[in-house]
A and B are shown apart, each in its own frame.
Chain A
Amino acid sequence: MLRTETYTVNFGPQHPATHGVFRVMLNLDGERIVKAEPVCGYLHRGVEKLAENRTYQQVIPYTDRLDYLAAGLQNQGYVETIEKLMEIEVPDRAEYLRIITAELSRIASHVLFVGVYALDIGAFTGFLLCFRERERILDLMEELTGSRMTYSYARIGGVAADAPEGWLDRVEKVVNDLPYYFDIYDDLISGNEIFQARTKYVGYLSAESAVDYSLSGPTLRGSGIDYDLRKAKPYSIYDRFNFEVPLGENGDCFDRYFCRILEMRQSVYILQQAIEQIRETDGPIMAKVPKVLKPPKGEAYHEIESSKGILGYYVVSDGSNKPYRVHVRRPSFVNLGFLDEMCRGGLVADLVAILGSIDIVLGEVDC
């Protein structure tokens, strides 16, 4: 019987479509992918190990550097874990400020995803267009936290600083403007036939295997599984907001992409409600927390819905002022596990579309 031989091609680590330094070892049969083996670790900095030599508060800036596109969410996940460990009650106003930063981070991350995904598919205009909106959100965050990407805003027991004067009005203005931009994305990118041809029915992910591989976030919801931690197990004060969990139907790249667009619209609803409610909430922004934190012996695991999926922190305390062990369950890393099966039988060009649709951040994958 006549057959062709397969050959191996390295995709990355220095390839812009991998969104960083990430390598996929492709086993190809002609243009078709036989096997795609992800190789990660090129951006490994040992954040988990570094955390063992830092006090509990000093770990916060390192969490920024995991998913640097949505640092607000990373901070929130970590501090909530320590608060769970120490049983600290956080003041209401601080909770609202955290929700606002978290949802703004989520939108900033998704907006960048839309742009970068358009770039992956080959539309450079989409990439630059989306930066404009992201910039407005980053400006707001800069005003609140002083940094554009690595916020380090959440503190154990509250937040670092209260909102500056008039900040909430400016957030409201940006938030109210955002749906108009999302319509533009729909017109320019989602509705584009070329974009649809490249993403529809590509990278199929069945609902069963998505659950089996414990995928999470929009990657999971794109396959039609209704599991959003904000709804399923409301943490923080998410039970006070009305919102829906957008779902995909087919489980292909387009659904995963479109899920994020719809999710941004839901984030806008949450933000509008949060701004309305925070105006009626006055009070401290920090709980009474000792300067030297010494959580009791024990361990805590807490997870939140990050922009990429379920972000979990596992912290073990030995009673000293430094954590004995910190482990991060990174959604990008877990979601990558299914890359191989999604790619099989597809073209090399599809790999770019699939990898983009999982929305990985290498800082988080390698940790």
Chain B
Amino acid sequence: MFGKGLVKGLNVTWKEFWSKKFTVQYPDEQHTKPPRFHGKFQLNSDACIACGLCANACPNGVIKIESEKVNKKKYLTKYVMNIQYCLFCGMCVEACNKGALRFTQEHDMSQYFYKDIPLVFVDREAPKPDPETENKEKDDDKSKKAGKAPEKEGQ
């Protein structure tokens, strides 16, 4: 019989009309996000050893890392993520051995100006090396890196 399908369809509509509403009134209400959510990044700069594994893992070259040798140790001076090229694949977070780089639940990263887009986690000067340890190192081996540090002192 013609029209049977339409009546059946209307029946579905009638039932759905009384069912629970699914719409979430964003932005007043928000969905809860799961713990693994790929949101904005967060860097624990104390835990970061500037090994560069995250930068190497990134398919798009989003992460820029700069570091200086201080007391024979790498000191992170700059950590910038050009988030506009990010695919949010999570390869960098997976590569981090120290758990320094993490995803957060934050998802609104849009900016009014282009220059504000990159996430600048660390942008600092390297501290002056401790002279005592420095001299000790110098005695141990007269490598180039140890010689470079005193120049800084004079600046």
Q: Write the residues of chain A forming the contact surface with B, with a CB cutoff of 8 angstroms.
A: 54, 57-62, 64, 125, 129, 132, 135, 142-147, 150, 152, 160-161, 164, 184, 187-189, 191-194, 196
State A150–B103 Cα separation when bound (angstroms): 16
The number of residues on chain B lying at the interface, defined by a beta carbon within 8 Å of a beta carbon of chain A, is: 28
Give residues 84-101 of B contacting A (CB, 8 Å): 87-91, 94
A-B contact pairs, 11 of them (CB 8 A): A144-B36, A146-B38, A150-B88, A187-B8, A188-B8, A191-B9, A192-B6, A192-B9, A193-B2, A193-B5, A194-B6
Whether A191 contacts B8 by the Cβ 8 Å rule is: yes
Q: Which of A147, A160, A192 contacts B94 (CB 8 A)?
A: A160
A179 CB → nearest B CB, Å = 15
Assuming the contacts A188-B9, A196-B5, asked whether A142 and B34 have C-beta atoms less than 8 A apart, the reply is yes
Whether B13 contacts A164 by the Cβ 8 Å rule is: no
Set of chain A residues within 8 Å of B36, measured between Cβ atoms: 142-146, 161, 164
Identify the closest chain A residue to B59 (Cβ).
A58
Whether A193 contacts B103 by the Cβ 8 Å rule is: no
State A251–B44 Cα separation when bound (angstroms): 59
Whether B9 contacts A61 by the Cβ 8 Å rule is: no
Q: Which of A60, A143, A192 contacts B89 (CB 8 A)?
A: A60
B32 CB → nearest A CB, Å = 10
Q: Which of B8, B16, B59 contacts A54 (CB 8 A)?
A: B59
B57 CB → nearest A CB, Å = 7
A321 CB → nearest B CB, Å = 11
B11: CB under 8 A from chain A?
A: yes
State A196–B4 Cα separation when bound (angstroms): 13
B91 CB → nearest A CB, Å = 7
B35: CB under 8 A from chain A?
A: yes
Whether A150 contacts B37 by the Cβ 8 Å rule is: no
Identify the closest chain B residue to A167 (Cβ).
B34
Give residues 29-83 of B contacting A (CB, 8 Å): 33-38, 57-59
Most B CB within 10 A of own CB, among A60, A143, A152: A152
Whether B13 contacts A188 by the Cβ 8 Å rule is: yes
Whether A152 contacts B89 by the Cβ 8 Å rule is: yes
State A285–B42 Cα separation when bound (angstroms): 27
Assuming the contacts A142-B34, A193-B3, asked whether A61 and B8 have C-beta atoms less than 8 A apart, the reply is no
Whether A164 contacts B35 by the Cβ 8 Å rule is: yes
B18: CB under 8 A from chain A?
A: no
Whether A192 contacts B5 by the Cβ 8 Å rule is: yes
B38 CB → nearest A CB, Å = 4
Set of chain B residues within 8 Å of A62, measured between Cβ atoms: 59
Set of chain A residues within 8 Å of B94, measured between Cβ atoms: 160
Q: Which of A61, A146, A160, A193 contacts B6 (CB 8 A)?
A: A193
State A161–B35 Cα separation when bound (angstroms): 13
Set of chain A residues within 8 Å of B35, measured between Cβ atoms: 164
Set of chain B residues within 8 Å of A132, measured between Cβ atoms: 22
